[in-house]
C-alpha cells in the first residue's frame, strides 16, 4: 500500500511539472506574438510618418486638403497608442513569465523572433498510454485492488506455530548467577504450540468493507473510462484544430504580405497624384487587420501544437 501511495504521489508531481511546462510555453508563445505585433506596428508607424510628410508637402503646395493631413495624424496617433499598449503588455507578460519560471526579476529575457517561414512538424502517433492522468488513475486502481485483497484475507483461517526455549534459575545471591553451586541450579524448559484462528462473526464489518472496496474500484474504472474518452476526444479535436490552424496561418500570412504589397502600390499612386488619401488609409487599415489576423493565427497554431505534444506524451521535447 505504501509503495502504491508513493507511486501515486510521484505521478502527481510529474503531472504538476508537465502542467508548469505547458503554462510556461503558452506564456512564451504569447510574448512572442506580442513582440511580433510590436515589430509590425513599428513598421506601420514608419510608413504613416512617411505618408504624413508627403501629405503635408502636398498641402503646402495646394495639392491636398487639410482634412487629409488630419486623417493621417489620427491614424498615426492610433498606431502610436497601439504600439505603447503592446509595449506595456509585453512588459507584463515577461514579468509574469519570470515569476512562473522563478527567474530573477532584475534580469532580462530575450524572446526568439517568430519564424514565419517554417512550421514545426508533429507526428500524429495517437493518444499516448503514458499520460499522467491515465497512470494516476491506474495507480489508484492498483491501490484499491490491494486494499480489497487485504480485506478478503480476513476471512481466511490462520494457523500460527509458536515455540520457546529457555533456562531458569533461582538463587539468593547475585554472584551465584555466574557460578553453579548447591544454591544455584539452572532448569531448562521448552515448548511448541499451534494457534488456529477461525473468523466466524465480526459484525459484518468485513462484508461492508469489501462492498465499499468494490464500489471504489467500479468508480475508478468509470473514471478511467471517462478520462480516456475525454483525452481521445481532445486528441481528435486537437488534430483537426492543428490542420485548420495550419491552413489559416498560411492563408493569413499570404494575406498580410499581399495587403502590404497593395498598400505600397496605393502609396505610390498617391505620391503620383492618382490615388486619394481615402484609398491609402483604407488599404492601411486592411493591412493592419491582416497583420493582426496573421499574429493570432500563428499563436493559435503554436498552442494547438503544444496541446498535441502533451496528448502524444512528448512535452519533454520542449526542453531540447
Are 74 and 162 found together in one domain?
no
Are 66 and 282 in contact by the 8 Å Cβ rule? The answer is no
What pLDDT digit, counting tens, does each position of 279-316 carry? Answer: 998 999 999 999 999 999 989 999 998 888 888 888 87
159 pLDDT above the threshold of 60 = yes
Residues of the domain holding 185: 157-198
Are 165 and 220 found together in one domain?
no
Q: Tell which of 146, 168, 198 closes a domain.
A: 198
Are 127 and 82 found together in one domain?
yes
Q: Going by C-beta distance under 8 Å and a sequence separation of 6 or more, which residues neighbour residue 35?
A: 90, 111, 113, 114
Overall size of the chain counted in residues: 320
Cell 484462528 belongs to residue:
197
Are 258 and 320 in contact by the 8 Å Cβ rule? The answer is no
Are 96 and 38 found together in one domain?
yes
Average pLDDT over residues 180-209: 68
Are 301 and 256 found together in one domain?
yes
How would residue 40 be classed by pLDDT, with cut points 50, 70 and 90? very high
Are 100 and 168 found together in one domain?
no
Average pLDDT over residues 245-250: 89
Are 163 and 250 found together in one domain?
no
User: Total domain count for the chain?
Assistant: 2
Q: Tell which of 146, 167, 198 closes a domain.
A: 198
Query: What CATH number does the domain containing 142 carry?
Result: 1.20.1600.10
Are 183 and 220 found together in one domain?
no
134 pLDDT above the threshold of 80 = yes
Are 67 and 191 found together in one domain?
no
Are 183 and 55 found together in one domain?
no
CA gap 308, 249 in Å, rounded: 17
pLDDT at 41: 94
108 pLDDT above the threshold of 90 = no
Average pLDDT over residues 201-211: 68
Cell numbers describing residue 133: 492522468
Are 137 and 263 found together in one domain?
yes
| Higher per-residue pLDDT: 313 or 202 | 313
Are 44 and 145 found together in one domain?
yes
155 pLDDT above the threshold of 70 = no
Query: What share of the chain has pLDDT > 70, as a percent?
Result: 80
Q: Tell which of 176, 198, 220 closes a domain.
A: 198
Amino acid at each position: 500500500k505504501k509503495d502504491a501511495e508513493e507511486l501515486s504521489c510521484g505521478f502527481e508531481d510529474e503531472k504538476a511539472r508537465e502542467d508548469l511546462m505547458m503554462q510556461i510555453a503558452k506564456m512564451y508563445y504569447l510574448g512572442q506574438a506580442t513582440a511580433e505585433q510590436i515589430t509590425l506596428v513599428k513598421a506601420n508607424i514608419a510608413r504613416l510618418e512617411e505618408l504624413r510628410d508627403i501629405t503635408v508637402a502636398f498641402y503646402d503646395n495646394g495639392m491636398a486638403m487639410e482634412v487629409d493631413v488630419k486623417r493621417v495624424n489620427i491614424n498615426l496617433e492610433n498606431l502610436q497608442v497601439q504600439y505603447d499598449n503592446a509595449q506595456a503588455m509585453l512588459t507584463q507578460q515577461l514579468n509574469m513569465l519570470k515569476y512562473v519560471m522563478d527567474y530573477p526579476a532584475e534580469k532580462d529575457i530575450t524572446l526568439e523572433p517568430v519564424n514565419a517561414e517554417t512550421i514545426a512538424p508533429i507526428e500524429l502517433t495517437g493518444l499516448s498510454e503514458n499520460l499522467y492522468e491515465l497512470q494516476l488513475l491506474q495507480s489508484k486502481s492498483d491501490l484499491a485492488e490491494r486494499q480489497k485483497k487485504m480485506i478478503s484475507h480476513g476471512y481466511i483461517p490462520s494457523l500460527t506455530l509458536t515455540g520457546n526455549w529457555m533456562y531458569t534459575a533461582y538463587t539468593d545471591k547475585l554472584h551465584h548467577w555466574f557460578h553453579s553451586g548447591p544454591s544455584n541450579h539452572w532448569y531448562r524448559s521448552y515448548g511448541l504450540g499451534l494457534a488456529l484462528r477461525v473468523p466466524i462473526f465480526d459484525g459484518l464489518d468485513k462484508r461492508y468493507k469489501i462492498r465499499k472496496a468494490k464500489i471504489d474500484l467500479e468508480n475508478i474504472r468509470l473514471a478511467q473510462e471517462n478520462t480516456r474518452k475525454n483525452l481521445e476526444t481532445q486528441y481528435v479535436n486537437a488534430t483537426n484544430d492543428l490542420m485548420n490552424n495550419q491552413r489559416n496561418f498560411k492563408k493569413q500570412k499570404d494575406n498580410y504580405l499581399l495587403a502590404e504589397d497593395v498598400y505600397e502600390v496605393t502609396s505610390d499612386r498617391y505620391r503620383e497624384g492618382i490615388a486619394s488619401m481615402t484609398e491609402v488609409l483604407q488599404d492601411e487599415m486592411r493591412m493592419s487587420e491582416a497583420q493582426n489576423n496573421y499574429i493570432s493565427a500563428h499563436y493559435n497554431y503554436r498552442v494547438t501544437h503544444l496541446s498535441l505534444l502533451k496528448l502524444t506524451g512528448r512535452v519533454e521535447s520542449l526542453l531540447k
